[in-house]
Structure 1
Amino acid sequence: MPSPLTGNVPIVALRARIDAVRARVADAARAAGRDPRGVRVLLATKTQDAATVLAAVEAAWDGERPVLLGENRVQELTAKAPALAGLVADGRVETHLIGHLQRNKVNAALATASCVQTVDSLALAAALASRCERDGRVLDVMVQVNVSGEPTKAGVGPHEAPHLACEVAALAGLRLTGLMTIGARSDDAALVSAGFARLRAIRDDVVASGAPGTAQARELSMGMTGDLELAVAQGATIVRVGTAVFGPR
């Protein structure tokens, strides 16, 4: 039986797995001539109970930067929020929504999310902005781009992404921090890498556009357990890792 303090995965195992992921990131960054501190690991906590998430935060906390947690579903984000509230309040944790957000769940998402990485339409962005303005807050957001063109993936198309990013950046109540994508589902490393390179190029175009609110949109959230090295080589600043830390879902 797992300990009630550590959930489904013992904290010793979590710490070892997180260290292994960080080592992979560091090796990939150095191979690309980058500073490893320029890439943060987001723990994708889909299906994990609150006790396991708390243990993962303890294992990942370095005493400096917040631990990034990502949830795919608003319901899970909301369910775990009470357990994480103290850690969020003292700056140890940031909670990111990394799954598709329906407009009818905007209020629930805003009650708990530090960042929404999956803005893929102006309508969704406007709904978030309206609520944020009403509440007197600013929400960090990213625009999700479907670089692979796969119909099973959410996100705006690469050609439309720069325009949408500029529109989102101009909305009061939102702070555009960058772009997000899910890599192509393929064993072809060159194909996956090309998608990540395309997101980087879109990001560079957005930042260089001079449009209001775009100057700080430098984050690239891309790469997961199976392809994080390819993503880091192409400039990822956040990699979203679940399986390598928590095991198969």
Structure 2
Amino acid sequence: MVGGVAERLARVRGRIAAAEAAAGREPGSVRLLLATKTLDVATVREAVLADAAATATTAGHARRVLLGENRVQELVAKAPDLADLAPELHLIGPLQSNKVNAALRWATCVQSVDSPVLAERLARRCADTDRVLDVLVQVNVSGEPTKHGVAPGDALDLVRAVAGLDRLRLRGFMTVGANSPDEREVRAGYAALRDLRDKVVDSGEPGTAGAVELSMGMSRDLEAAVAEGATVVRVGTAVFGARPAPPVPA
């Protein structure tokens, strides 16, 4: 992929700005989350510094850079070496109950809450450490078996369960779009998540008023996500290039 991290980052921010304009969205209404799966700390630091500089230039003030890790072990390994840059660290991949303690040492938000069992485990750990955790409910809008998330038909029950836990702050919803070349299919999934969000926020049920975030859209389809209301797009490849292939077991 042509260009360095800063140059590619600028191109992605240009895509987001163009998508906001095309959708009639307020400039700056969509946040960029840098998905840093498999990347070394030096590359992540380069991206954080470049993004902080770009944000300060365009907005007139520094805004905390948003980073997302798919795996708890990578989050734990990288976070100490990023602490001086003070990014927001989100867990965007599946979380097993036995890794909750490790994740919560560093994560400011867990975007992948997909069951009452996980929500309750997070809430108990937060009570033990006297903190409140931002969370998103992950919904599998495409129904693809390879994707994580609660089924759309079960999402409202999970929302009520999460909203009823004192130590969790429900901030919205996350999904991975359909793996399809048909933009209409992709957008339909994103529109369904937006409609779910609106239904939840308008319900007036306790703990749901702040559930406004929509984390959806990645490198290949961020424009479709912005058009359907995304407030966060998760971008890795378009900024960092293709990930190296995993090592072949001996």
Q: RMSD across aligned C-alpha pairs, in angstroms?
A: 1.3
In structure 2, the partner of 1:109 is 103
Q: Name the counterpart of 2:159.
A: 165
CA contact (8 A) 1:178 1:219 kept: yes
SS of 2:171's equivalent in the other structure is strand
1:208 counterpart = 2:193: no
Q: TM-score, normalised by structure 1?
A: 0.93
- Distance across 2 between alignment mates of 1:162 and 1:37: 29
Q: How do 1:151-190 residues align onto structure 2 when only pairs under 5 Å count? A: 151-190=145-184
Query: Which residue type is aligned with residue 125 of structure 2?
Result: R
Q: Does 1:57 align with 2:51?
A: no
Matched with 1:147 is 141
Question: Within 1, Cα distance between the matches of 2:221 and 2:152?
Answer: 20
Q: Which amino acid aligns with 2:166?
A: A
Query: 1: distance between equivalents of 2:29 and 2:164?
Result: 26
Matched, 1:197 2:161: no
With normalisation by structure 2, the TM-score equals 0.92
- 3-state secondary structure, aligned to 2:28: helix
- In structure 2, the partner of 1:26 is 17
Deviation, structure 1 residue 166: 2.1
Q: What residue in structure 2 maps to residue 233 of structure 1?
A: 227
**Can you list the C-alpha shifts for 1:93-152, whole angstroms capped at 9, x where unaligned?**
100000000001000000010100000000000000001011110111000000000000
Q: 2: distance between equivalents of 1:229 and 1:162?
A: 27
2:106 aligned partner, one-letter code: T
Of 67, 70, 80 in structure 2, the residue corresponding to residue 69 of structure 1 is 67
Structure 1: runs of 5 or more not aligned: 1-8
Measured against aligned partners, the alpha-carbon deviations of 1:191-235 in whole angstroms (never above 9, x if no partner) come to: 000000000000001111111111010000000000000000000
- 1:36 deviates by 2.6
Count of residue pairs brought into register by the alignment: 236
3-state DSSP class of the match of 1:38? coil
Question: After superposition, where does 1:89-104 map in structure 2 within 5 Å?
Answer: 93-104=87-98
Residue 160 of structure 1: SS of its match in structure 2? helix
Name the aligned partner's letter for residue 44 of structure 2. Answer: V
The residue number in structure 1 matching 2:247 is: none
Specify the code of the residue in structure 1 equivalent to 2:46. A
Report if the CA contact (8 A) 1:50-1:80 is conserved.
yes
1:45 counterpart = 2:39 = no
Tell me which stretches of 4 or more aligned residues in structure 1 moved more than 6 Å. Answer: none
Query: Is the contact between residue 162 and residue 205 of structure 1 (CA under 8 Å) also seen in structure 2?
Result: no
Q: Is the 8 A contact 1:138 1:173 kept in 2?
A: yes
Q: Percent identity?
A: 63
Contact kept in structure 2, 1:169 and 1:212, CA below 8 Å: yes
Instruction: Tell me how far apart the structure 2 counterparts of residues 125 and 167 of structure 1 sit (CA, whole Å).
Output: 8
Q: 2:28 is aligned with what amino acid? A: R
Aligned-residue offset at 1:13: 1.4
The one-letter code of the counterpart of 1:222 is M
1:166 and 1:206 in contact (8 A); partners too: no
Match of 1:219 among 196, 210, 213: 213
Confirm whether residue 83 of structure 1 aligns to residue 81 of structure 2.
Answer: yes
Query: 1: CA distance between counterparts of 2:83 and 2:188?
Result: 39
User: Aligned to 1:14, which of 2, 5, 29?
Assistant: 5
DSSP-derived class of the 1:43 partner: strand
User: 3-state SS of the aligned residue for 2:39?
Assistant: coil
Worse overlay, 188-197 or 59-68: 59-68
Quote the residue 1:4 is aligned against. Answer: none
2 CA distance for matches of 1:65 and 1:56? Answer: 14
Partners of 1:161 and 1:108 in 2: CA distance: 26
SS of residue matched to 1:223: coil
Q: CA deviation at 1:240?
A: 0.2
